[in-house]
A and B are shown apart, each in its own frame.
Chain A
Amino acid sequence: MNPTDKPIASPLVVLREEFDDWAVLFNPDTADAVGTNPVGVAVWKLMDGKTRLADIVSKVKNSFEDVPDSVPQEIEAFVNSLSENGFVGLELPGK
């Protein structure tokens, strides 16, 4: 996925915020469940198909304190793995 891509969270996938620091993304069609931390939750909520990946990264960086330098790469890796597992799609250009 490129920084200019606009990822969109699958409307089928359920976000379960289980504990303050832990959530689960659940795809009921495949029964796949992915655990995630609050940063992942924030990323998930920003994937509306209108926001570029680069903007998601900077918004998340700004909303958490003491964010390590590696966070942009981690977010990209997280979004890529969700995309590979069918949790996330891409808004098509021109839409």
Chain B
Amino acid sequence: MEKPVPAASKVMRVPRSLLLEITARCNLRCRYCYFFNNPAMVYRDLPAEEWLKFFNELGSLGVMKLTLAGGEPFFREDLPALIEGIVRNRMRFSMLSNGGLINDEIAAFMAGTGRCDYVQVSVDGSCAEVHDSCRGKGSFDGAIRGIRTLQRHGIFVAVRLTIHRNNVQDLENTARFLLEDLGLQDFGTNAAGYMGACCANAEDVLLNTEERQEAMAILLRLAAKYPGRILADAGPLADGRMWRRMEEARAQGKPAFYNGGRLTGCGCTSNKLAVRADGVLVPCNMLAHIELGRINQDSLVEVWQNSPALNQIRNRPAISLSDFEFCAGCPYTPYCTGNCPGLAYTLTGQVDHPSPDACFRQFLKEGGTLP
């Protein structure tokens, strides 16, 4: 008999925010896109009425914020109607975009609502040659045009830079371009991960240990040059910062970190949820294979509070890293969080496993050194 999954303790009544993949269509086909060629995805768009009905449910529950993603959310011709539904239901929104389809009309409309927190545009280099190498011809010009359009309309632009083999040498120029030329307050960084389209292009796209180390060194240097303006939740900068702390703690024999030694690397399911383009509720877009229910058919509150699959993820922090053969004898265990379950799943086939991608010991074993 399967072990029953205990309800996670202290779950808030409803999520504060949701990420919605409002379309499975995109004007680009980036070589590392997690969304395309992902066996967990169903490439089908819901009609606007389905989303609008769902927004009514979210509004009545007091959900505060929605992130509209895709595919490319600006691909939807009925986007203004969707945004009106969000506004009507007393929520705010943000968008994750490649920038190429943003024009004055939609930017003015979004600005006019007063409810847009930000639009995140992906920029992977300081020039077309670098950016377009993974995102396709014309995509750099489109992204920059989109950013300038948003800026003209006073919409906050949050740039995300995905690091891959072809842009490590351009990081310095990219930081200068984004922060000085475009005048952004800050930008975020991560790295291409072994997911979706990236799996078929891994050889050309994913950083090897040497490149990872180099990216880490450059980013740590740039982060010191531009204090507080280069952000990272994942990727070389986040790893570099975390691994420095872990190395220092190990060397000084410090006590375990408060969240160390267990699978605490993901706290998203404490306040967020995601919906795939086909309307299936999932814990996160990185865990799109875990189907929790369907919008407008299943009650969001019921799924949020009682889904066994969701509670299983919430209970990951109860799992000790020392239970894994993978971590046997590792001196960093008391300081390690096991990191993102999404990458753990694509790399090991198990959600309840530390992610080998962000494993400090593995990085060292492969010859990496900390800058």
A24 to chain B, nearest CB (A): 8
* CB proximity to B under 8 Å, residues A1-39: 12, 14-19, 24, 26, 28-29, 31, 33
Using A28-B115, A29-B114, A29-B115 as known contacts, say yes or no to A15 and B62 having CB atoms under 8 A apart.
Answer: yes
Q: Which of A19, A24, A28 contacts B91 (CB 8 A)?
A: A28
Which listed residue (A12, A17, A28, A29) contacts B64, Cβ 8 A?
A: A28
Residue of A nearest to B12 (CB): A18
A12 to B87, CA, bound (A): 10
Is A33 a contact of B13 with CB atoms below 8 Å?
no
Main SS class of interface, B: loop
**Chain A interface residue count, Cβ-Cβ cutoff 8 angstroms:** 13
Determine whether the beta carbon of A26 is less than 8 Å from that of B62: yes
B117 interface hit (Cβ, 8 Å): yes
Cα(A24)–Cα(B114), bound, Å: 21
Contacts of B114 in A (CB 8 A): 29
Q: Please, which residue of chain B has its CB at the minimum distance from the CB of A16? A: B62
Whether A12 lies near B62 (C-beta < 8 A) is: no
Partner of B92, one of A15, A16, A18, A28: A28
Main secondary structure of the interface of A (DSSP, over half): strand
What total of A-B pairs shows CB separation below 8 Å? Answer: 34
Contact A19 B64 (CB under 8 A): no
On chain B, the residues within 8 Å of A14 by CB distance are 62, 64, 90
How many interface residues does B have (CB within 8 Å)?
A: 14
Q: Is B10's beta carbon under 8 Å from chain A?
A: yes
Is there a chain A Cβ closer than 8 Å to B14's Cβ? Answer: yes
In whole angstroms, how far apart are the Cα atoms of A20 and B110 in the complex? 36
Bound CA–CA A31/B115 (angstroms): 8
**Beta-carbon contact of A33 and B62 below 8 Å:** no
B115:A16 contact, CB within 8 angstroms? no
Report yes or no: B90 in contact with A16, Cβ–Cβ below 8 A.
no
In the complex, A15 Cα to B13 Cα: how many Å? 12
A31–B91 CA distance with the chains assembled, in angstroms: 9
Q: Mark B47-69, 1 if CB is under 8 A from A, else 0.
A: 00000000000000010100000
Write out the residue numbers on chain A whose beta carbons fall within 8 Å of the beta carbon of B91: 28
* Distance in angstroms between the alpha carbons of A32 and B329 in the assembled complex: 48
Distance between Cα atoms of A17 and B14 in the complex (Å): 9
CB distance from A22 to the nearest CB of B (A): 9
Q: Closest residue to B91 on the A side, CB-wise? A: A28
| B13 & A19 in contact (Cβ 8 Å cutoff) | yes
A15 to B117, CA, bound (A): 20
Interface pair B13/A17, CB less than 8 Å apart: yes
**How would residues 189 to 211 of chain B score, 1 for a CB under 8 Å from any chain A CB and 0 otherwise?**
00000000000000000000000
8 Å CB contact of B12 from A12, A15, A19, A29: A19
Known contacts A28-B92, A31-B117, A16 near B10 by CB under 8 Å: no
What are the 6 tightest A-B residue pairs by CB atom distance, in nearest-first order?
A: A16-B62, A18-B12, A28-B90, A14-B62, A14-B90, A26-B64
List 16 A-B residue pairs with CB atoms under 8 Å apart, sorted by A's residue number.
Answer: A12-B90, A14-B62, A14-B90, A16-B62, A16-B64, A18-B13, A18-B14, A26-B62, A26-B64, A26-B90, A28-B64, A28-B87, A28-B90, A28-B115, A29-B115, A31-B117
Q: A26-B62, A26-B64, A28-B91 are in contact. List 13 more A-B contacts (CB 8 A).
A: A14-B62, A14-B64, A16-B13, A17-B13, A17-B62, A18-B14, A19-B12, A24-B64, A28-B64, A28-B87, A29-B115, A31-B117, A33-B64
* B residues neighboring A (CB under 8 Å): 10, 12-14, 16, 62, 64, 87, 90-92, 114-115, 117
